[in-house]
Structure 1
Amino acid sequence: MSARMSEVAVGDQLPELSVSLTRADLVRYAGASGDFNPIHWNERFATEVGLPDVIAHGMLTMAVAGRLVSGWTGDPGAIVHYGVRFTRPVVVPDDDAGALVEVSGKIAKKNEDGTVKVNITARSADQGVLGGATATVRLPE
């Protein structure tokens, strides 16, 4: 999909995105990112430090939410700013289904500089996992 500035209005919803994260995904992400913290792969360690189970990397969760916007624009380079706060971890069970991360977005503002602000919501296990997630996007006319 390729969004155009003339086609969007404040309040428009982006197509929702659902992504399942499994323990295998966490291992692959650890290898790609170099983040081998055992809270992302070792259940015993994760629970010893007070977590309910193994959790997804925050930056992986952020990347999943970013896919919502880059998929909508059709051009990852159209994103001129992207930021989130990590509010709750994505707990990834040791099964084949993993944890479902559901992401939605809404046009919050059309700026005079030709950009739009997108408010993003990311949820897992019926709870918000990112706070203040926004992207500023430059769309073609």
Structure 2
Amino acid sequence: MTLPTRTFTITRADLVRYAEASGDHNPIHRDDAVAASVGLPGVIAHGMYTMALVAGAVSDWFPGAEVVSFGCKFTHPVVVPPEGGVQVEVAGETKATEDGLTTVALTVTCGGQKVLGMPKAVLRVPADD
């Protein structure tokens, strides 16, 4: 089953809030010059913040489900411009339901580029009443 695509806009203000909440104050997430000095194209979103947005989409698709496993590889940075924001799209497809577990294959893109490699969630979905 194909799940409806979710789109999230990430702004620099979001990165500031995430840094405060997570304690990850690495300057590549707030300073263009520092990001450029390490070879990045600009300020980038925290990988774990991007992953958290994906987890939110999964939660919306499967309310009340227990997350058994959730993982990915960070393959491409999400560059966040100084003004406005950047959109991240999360698409999902249920691949299998076996032994009471549902596997959801995910696709996470920004500007048409995949930003997470092999993102997948395995859920225990409550039975319909």
Q: TM-score, normalised by structure 1?
A: 0.87
Aligned length in residues = 127
Instruction: Tell me how far apart the structure 1 counterparts of residues 103 and 77 of structure 2 sit (CA, whole Å).
Output: 25
Match of 1:140?
126
Distance across 1 between alignment mates of 2:30 and 2:126? 42
Q: Deviations over 1:83-113 (max 9, x none)?
A: 11111010000112x11000000011111x2
> Which of 109, 122, 140 in structure 1 is aligned with 2:96?
109
- 5 Å matches for 1:27-42? 27-42=16-31
The alignment yields a C-alpha RMSD, in angstroms, of 0.9
Measured against aligned partners, the alpha-carbon deviations of 1:9-61 in whole angstroms (never above 9, x if no partner) come to xxx01121100000000000000000000000001110111100000000001
Please, which runs of 5 or more residues in structure 2 have no aligned partner? none
Higher strand share: 2
Identity percentage over the alignment? 48
Unaligned stretches of 5+ in structure 1?
A: 1-11
| Off by >3 Å, runs of 4+ in structure 1 | none
Q: Tell me which of 102, 105, 123 is aligned to 2:109.
A: 123
* 1:92-138 residue CA offsets vs partner (Å, 9 max, x unmatched): 00112x11000000011111x20110001100011000011000011
- TM-score, normalised to structure 2, is 0.95
For 2:76 and 2:52, the matched residues in 1 are separated by: 15
